[in-house]
Chains A and B, each alone.
Chain A
């Protein structure tokens, strides 16, 4: 069964994608760690951290593409799942600080000490264990998505209504996490991490390992998405995307399919967030900002909705553009560039980068086929051999 799923889900571009990500995931850490600093081929640590961040964004983009590109659920609140995963990891990292915080309190994180928390709130218990935090990374976003999806899909909330209420969800969470009384550090969020599983988060080796891990997670997520979309389940999802009522009338329980894929996608976003936090060193409520979720949807659109490789590529391209434009002499104008990029991609490349590329390849294939056909035809015409 497994080999079958693998061969089915791995077409050429998927293989290429996996090879590239795996290659980068191995080569960049090696180059960073083994080559001497300053040598031309050495990847500086800050680039490792940067690429690690892109990899996490790529996972988030994949999770959005899975529901939007293949099931037509446009979630404008996926950043919420990403941030929840991040918070779960952040809470683990906070507990790992132990008595090394500025106040030296062995149990309470710093922000709780100066806001006079008498004891650890109940929902912080257990996060000192990695397995528990890792479980929560999947469970919290998954559970939220499950409850939210169960309500929404059962009542057949679709289209813009769904998009707007997902936005309301992330906005409500944003406001809630901003509240200091909520017990997650308010606006300052969780920061000043020291260790992850006993390794110093700031050490080059840890960074390289986290990057490699992010690449691995990206590959795994990609494989899961491929497996889903190439299976029979994937066909039903596409049917739902293209004609929801018709699918329902054919006897499929549309809401169950949607709920499954929505929850799966939320778990993936949670994993992305969990990998993101130790690499950027902070998680704060602004990750819940509705704008962030919208931007993540735009990555998918730029790369190509409905093509998994495109989603990941879009995340990297847009974020690289952001990194590039926000420094140097262009810094004051980067929003113009980014805005223009979004407008131009939607206008000129409606299928995104990969989608357009695929279409171009298809059309070349088609013309070639047509050429071959007409050539064959001409050959046929050119050789009118009367039967003898």
Chain B
């Protein structure tokens, strides 16, 4: 925290106190001067302006500062006039509050840098400590917790007494504890209590606060604080195990999603489909196209873009898969290794086709609001996009499993996987099954692309980065067995994530590859080998 920030905060709180006690009416002169400083396009002037406006007590202060945060505050450098464009599009003169028809031509948004953005946040925090919205009050309490500024103590005490919402109350109590811990004239008892409250919070912020404690505290407090630090650290250590497990699951779900389509084509047809990654890429580009159309035509539907993209990607990639099967792979039956060569050629063509059509650079695929951000579970952060991808992968897996088990096509596929010639003699049209299987595998790769577009580049190279990992997963799990793929993906994901903190990302990955090579020696047919009676089955 910069000293600047603390000064600002102190000033803001003082102003609120003053405003609350005396309800001083706005003073026209200094406020207008301060507002005009926004027009100078100079960071230190803007800094001063934020301070002056926030402490002015003027009713326009909140709209001005929040407009500044959202980039809705603009200024005319010639006339030094400053304007607030409301969220509803209405424009007012920031100094007077008078409505304005339109912005002058040379008005430009007031620029911020990180330092100013922090100042704005602090100012807004001060202005919202008594906000009617509980979420805003919690956010304000958090910023007091971080700044632990003792001038805020009276406001916090007052707010704490009136507060009825439990969560907000806890946040206020923590903020109060942070202040007391750092307040030089607080009693030892108060400080000990504060340490206990902060220890109970137990997260990294709390740790930062306790470790930041100087040496000028009473020895008792220092001792208790040290033990609190140790206990938080050991707690966090435990949580980091949980976190690694979660990361592993999440990585595993990505691997599974990328590999599951391959498991089908590979398992049923024994085809090494090197163009599998390109199917994933096509799915991702389908998402891009869907989002482009939605952005330009139906911006309100953006949150549903992925829901629209999933079936489309399945159809597009699936259709291309069937085309590939009918056009190329059909002629290569009985020569499975040669499909490797043809599909490798195909992957080159598909990559270059996408590069020609969409350009070589990354394409932007946005996260819908329900996939953005994260939430805290205990002391670990779980991001929504990873969580949804995990759920989505499991759903795809279950649906696929059900399809294989309960539909006629599934039955035929299983029959062909287990014994192609026997299946053919039982009257199953194996070539039709092959085409549909390939289409299904490709379609699933396509919907994997939709999910991967949320966490990775959407570029012509997208598929290549997953193809080797996918093959590893399938081979490790055992060809022709979906459960093997599931277990394989999650095992590799979790192993990778537990190795990464120890060995680093690169060595971790190398270790995993070596382990796979050794594992295959032990079980040459993978984790879940299909049982058969032939010598070479």
Q: Report which A residues bind B (CB closer than 8 A).
A: 74, 148, 151-152, 154-158, 160-161, 163-165, 167-169, 171-172, 175-176, 178-179, 244-245, 290-291, 294-295, 297-298, 301, 332-333, 335-336, 338-343, 345-347, 350
Choose from A157, A295, A341, A346 the contact partner of B521 (Cβ within 8 Å). Answer: A157
CA distance A156 to B335 in the complex (A): 21
Give min CB distance, A165 to chain B, whole Å.
Answer: 5
Q: Which chain A residues lie closer than 8 Å to B351 at the CB level?
A: 335
Residue from A156, A164, A297 whose CB has the most chain B CB atoms within 10 Å: A164
Residue in A148, A172, A245, A346 whose CB lies within 8 Å of B345: A346
B356 near A: Cβ within 8 Å?
A: yes
Considering only CB atoms, which chain A residue lies closest to B521 in the complex? A155
Q: Is B429 an interface residue (CB 8 A)?
A: no
Q: A155-B524, A163-B272, A333-B352 are in contact. Are A350 and B535 (CB under 8 A)?
A: no
Smallest CB-CB separation from B513: which chain A residue? Answer: A172
Interface centre among A154, A295, A343, A345 (most CB of B within 10 A): A343
Q: Is the beta-carbon distance between B348 and A165 smaller than 8 angstroms? A: no
Instruction: Give chain B residues whose Cβ lies under 8 Å from the Cβ of A244.
Output: 536
Shortest Cβ gap from B360 to chain A (Å): 10
Among B274, B335, B522, B525: residue with most chain A CB under 10 A: B525
Contact B341 A341 (CB under 8 A): no
Query: Does residue B331 face the partner (Cβ distance < 8 Å to A)?
Result: yes
**In the assembled complex, which residues on chain A have CB atoms less than 8 Å from the CB atom of B520?**
152, 155, 157, 161, 165
Give Cα A378–Cα B349 distance, bound, in whole angstroms. Answer: 54
* Contact between B338 and A342, CB atoms less than 8 A apart: no
CB within 8 Å of A: which B335-359 residues = 335, 337-342, 344-349, 351-353, 356
User: CB distance A346 to B468 under 8 Å?
Assistant: no
- A191 and B304 alpha carbons, distance in the complex (Å): 52
Please, how many angstroms separate the alpha-carbon atoms of A343 and B350 in the complex? 12
Residues in A whose Cβ lies below 8 Å from that of B348 = 335-336, 338-339, 342
Residue B306 lies at the interface, judged by CB distance under 8 Å to chain A: no
| A346/B356 in contact, CB under 8 A | no
- A161 near B526: Cβ-Cβ < 8 Å: yes
Selected A-B contacts with CB under 8 Å, 10 pairs: A156-B524, A157-B520, A158-B536, A165-B517, A168-B513, A172-B517, A338-B348, A346-B345, A347-B342, A350-B338
Let me know if B110 is at the binding interface, CB within 8 A. no
Question: Is residue B472 contacting chain A, with contact meaning CB distance below 8 A?
Answer: yes
| Chain B 462-496 interface mask (CB, 8 Å, partner A; 1/0) | 00100010011001000100000000000000000
- In the assembly, what is the distance between CA of A342 and CA of B338, in Å? 10
Whether A161 lies near B475 (C-beta < 8 A) is yes
Contact call A297/B349, Cβ cutoff below 8 A:
no
Pairwise interchain contact B344-A347, C-beta atoms closer than 8 A: no
A167 to chain B, nearest CB (A): 6
Check B510–A172 contact: CB distance below 8 A.
Answer: yes
A345–B472 alpha-carbon span in the complex (Å): 28
B471 touches A167 (CB 8 A): yes
Q: How far is the CB of A155 from chain B (nearest CB, A)?
A: 4
A342 touches B521 (CB 8 A): no
- Cα A148 to Cα B514 in complex, Å, equals 11
Partner of A160, one of B270, B341, B346, B468: B270
State whether the Cβ of B516 lies closer than 8 Å to any Cβ in chain A.
Answer: yes
Min CB gap A209→B, angstroms: 35
The smallest beta-carbon distance between B349 and chain A, in angstroms, is 4
| B344 with A298: CB separation less than 8 A | yes
Partner of A340, one of B349, B468, B518, B525: B349
CB < 8 Å: which of A169, A179, A295 contacts B517? Answer: A169
Query: A151 and B475 in contact (CB under 8 A), knowing A175-B510, A244-B536, A340-B345?
Result: no
**B414 interfacial by beta-carbon distance below 8 Å:** no
**What is the distance, in angstroms, from A322's C-beta to the closest C-beta of chain B?**
11
Q: How far is the CA of A294 from the CA of B467 in the complex (A)?
A: 13
Which single member of A165, A301, A340 contacts B341 (CB below 8 Å)? A301
Q: How far is the CA of A345 from the CA of B507 in the complex (A)?
A: 39
Give the docked Cα–Cα distance between A156 and B536 (Å).
Answer: 9
Contact B272 A346 (CB under 8 A): no
Please, which residues of chain A bring their CB within 8 A of the CB of B524?
A: 155-158, 161
Q: Which residues of A contact B522 (CB under 8 A)?
A: 155
Q: Which residue of the partner chain, among B345, B506, B516, B518, contacts A175 with CB atoms under 8 Å? A: B506
Q: B505 to nearest A CB, angstroms?
A: 10
Output the least CB separation between A293 and chain B (Å).
Answer: 11
Which B310-340 residues have C-beta < 8 A from chain A? 328, 331-332, 335, 337-340
**Is B509's beta carbon under 8 Å from chain A?**
yes
Which of B340, B348, B514 has the largest number of chain A CB atoms within 10 A?
A: B348
Cα distance A164–B266 in the bound complex, in angstroms: 12
Nearest residue, chain B, Cβ from A152? B521
Closest to A243 in B: B536
Q: Please, which residues of chain B bring their CB within 8 A of the CB of A154? A: 521
Given contacts A335-B348, A342-B344, A346-B341, contact A171 B513 (CB under 8 A): yes
Set of chain B residues within 8 Å of A339, measured between Cβ atoms: 345-349, 352
